[in-house]
């Protein structure tokens, strides 16, 4: 097989994988944590063994969906951080971007973060050992590392900037996740009120930190 044939086959495989993930997204939007491999295979117009061939099991499909949605969310968060605005406005915009994302697609959020709420259908016994922590923890760690990198690039908080940036990055992501999870379930206040309250919590030392010389600012 020559290089052109291999490239064409890879493109075809990538396209098919995207189509299957889009089918999975549609089922997750409809069913949330109850989304089953049977339902996803039916939505894609294939048999479940073919779905397993592409992703292995529900855990593999979950990991692919998690990366797909995390990539999109991180791009949105970076755009909010890079917007031409005052620092407080960018902090609020970043918090709001995260909360807006989980509010707009709560079934996807619950599938990714609370799959245990779902039920295993008779045809999905092989997925009963699915461990959300195996994938959700790395997802949150990735977000924390990405935010830490932005903080380190843009702020000068004195000695130990790199370590402090990682502490802040993971701490902010943990705060957003925990507060957003609680808010999405109970809706005790408006999204705007939650954004302002979280920004107030962050605003102490962050407001006093200087921008890195020659950097884009934060």
Sequential pLDDT tens for the chain (218 residues) = 566 666 878 888 888 889 999 999 999 989 888 888 999 999 999 999 988 888 888 888 888 888 888 888 889 988 998 888 888 999 999 999 999 999 999 998 888 888 665 544 445 544 544 455 555 677 889 889 989 998 888 887 778 888 999 999 999 999 999 999 999 999 999 999 999 999 998 887 666 666 666 666 66
Predicted pLDDT at 19? 93
Contacts of 99 (CB under 8 A, 6+ apart): 176, 180, 183, 191, 194, 195
CATH of domain 3-211: 1.10.357.10
Report how far residue 189's alpha carbon sits from residue 146's, in angstroms, rounded to the nearest whole number.
29
Predicted pLDDT at 42? 94
Report how far residue 73's alpha carbon sits from residue 177's, in angstroms, rounded to the nearest whole number.
13
Q: Where are the domains of the chain?
A: 3-211
Helix (H) or strand (E) holding 59: helix 58-82
Report how far residue 207's alpha carbon sits from residue 64's, in angstroms, rounded to the nearest whole number.
37
Positions of E strands within 5-164: 155-156
């Amino acid at each position: 097989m020559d290089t052109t044939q291999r490239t064409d086959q890879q493109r075809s495989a990538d396209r098919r994988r995207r189509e299957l993930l889009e089918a999975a997204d549609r089922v997750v939007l409809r069913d949330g944590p109850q989304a089953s491999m049977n339902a996803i295979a039916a939505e894609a117009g294939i048999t479940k063994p073919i779905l397993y061939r592409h992703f292995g099991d529900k855990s593999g499909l979950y990991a692919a969906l998690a990366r797909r949605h995390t990539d999109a969310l991180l791009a949105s968060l970076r755009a909010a951080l890079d917007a031409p605005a005052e620092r407080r406005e960018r902090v609020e915009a970043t918090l709001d971007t995260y909360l807006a994302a989980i509010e707009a697609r709560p079934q996807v959020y619950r599938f990714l973060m609370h799959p245990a709420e779902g039920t295993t259908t008779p045809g999905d016994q092989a997925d009963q050992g699915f461990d959300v922590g195996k994938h959700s923890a790395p997802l949150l760690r990735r977000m924390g590392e990405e935010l830490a990198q932005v903080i380190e690039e843009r702020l000068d908080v004195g000695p130990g900037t790199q370590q402090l940036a990682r502490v802040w990055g993971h701490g902010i992501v943990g705060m957003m996740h925990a507060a957003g999870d609680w808010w999405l379930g109970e809706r005790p206040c408006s999204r705007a009120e939650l954004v302002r309250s979280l920004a107030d919590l962050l605003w102490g030392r962050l407001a006093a930190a200087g921008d890195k010389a020659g950097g884009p600012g934060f």
